[in-house]
Amino acid sequence: MVMCYHGNSSKGAAQYLLQQGYDAVYSVDGGFDAWHRHFPAEVEYAFER
């Protein structure tokens, strides 16, 4: 899986990996930005920060 901030650079990187013979390559559409908007993470810490 390839991911960048907006999803533009990772598409090119994923295409390159496919050309190099990798067969299970994924690029996250929209990158970290879209992932964070759609899947916000709440982190629970086992200790006080």
Name the residues annotated as catalytic: 4
Domain boundaries, the chain: 8-38
Output the pLDDT for position 46.
80
H or E segment at 12? Answer: helix 8-19
**Mean of pLDDT over the chain:** 90
The Cα 26–Cα 35 span in angstroms is 14
Task: Compute the 3-state secondary structure of the chain and give helix, strand, coil in percent, each to the nearest 5.
Answer: 40, 5, 55
pLDDT digits (tens, 9 = 90+) for 10-21: 999 999 999 999
Q: What pLDDT, on a 0 to 100 scale, did the predictor assign at position 13?
A: 96
| pLDDT of 39 strictly over 90 | no
- What does the pLDDT read at residue 49? 62
